[in-house]
């Protein structure tokens, strides 16, 4: 396990009543009522769910990691676009997640984008590091 040597930021959130309750960050900037997706037996109810929030966080974090890699390579890459698709499903031990990360950088060819993405996934993105060996994550191009 890799431990933090220096904490740069700390935030907490509190959830009540599980998947059908409420979640709020300690700053109060994020406040959501939750509902299970209809495909999981819930109401959907125009509310978010943990997988939706995870997809948003992973996509944003991965985009930042791509920017970092491009900068360290002195590439004029343009802004990244990242789509994180989170799958919730059954596995041998019960339930689990899978993630497909798709990315694009407007000024780079496909081969270079994939190279940047693979380095971001293997060496930089904290979400990728946290999920490594725990869930299946695939990396590929986002076709626009």
Digit-by-digit pLDDT tens for the chain (144 residues) are 889 999 999 999 999 999 999 999 999 999 999 999 999 999 988 999 999 999 999 999 999 999 999 999 999 999 999 999 999 999 999 999 999 999 999 999 999 999 999 999 999 999 999 999 999 999 999 986
Q: Please identify, in words, the CATH class of the domain defined by 50-141.
A: alpha beta
The pLDDT assigned to 143 comes to 87
- Domain 1-48 and domain 50-141 have a common topology: no
Residue 144 has what pLDDT? 67
- Enter the tokens of residue 31: 């406040």
Find how far residue 132's CA is from the centre of its chain.
Answer: 13
H or E element at residue 105: strand 94-105
Dist CA 77 CA 70 (whole Å): 6
Predicted local distance difference test score (pLDDT) of residue 75 = 98
CATH fold, domain 1-48, is N-terminal domain of TfIIb (2.20.25)
Q: Regarding beta strands 136-141 and 94-105, do their DSSP bridges make them parallel or antiparallel, or are they unpaired?
A: parallel
* pTM (whole model) above 0.85: yes
Residue ranges covered by each domain of the chain: 1-48, 50-141
């Amino acid at each position: 396990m890799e431990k933090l040597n220096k904490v740069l930021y700390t935030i907490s959130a509190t959830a009540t009543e599980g998947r059908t309750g409420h979640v709020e960050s300690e700053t109060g900037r994020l406040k959501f009522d939750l509902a299970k997706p209809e495909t999981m037996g819930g109401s959907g109810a125009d509310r978010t769910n943990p997988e939706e929030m995870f997809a948003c966080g992973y996509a944003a974090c991965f985009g930042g990691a791509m920017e970092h890699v491009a900068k360290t390579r002195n590439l004029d890459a343009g802004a990244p676009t990242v789509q994180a698709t989170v799958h919730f499903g059954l596995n041998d031990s019960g339930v689990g997640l899978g993630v497909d990360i798709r990315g694009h950088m407007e000024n780079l060819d496909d081969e270079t984008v994939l190279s940047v993405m693979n380095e971001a996934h293997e060496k930089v993105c904290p979400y990728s590091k946290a999920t490594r060996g725990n869930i299946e994550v695939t990396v590929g191009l986002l076709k626009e």
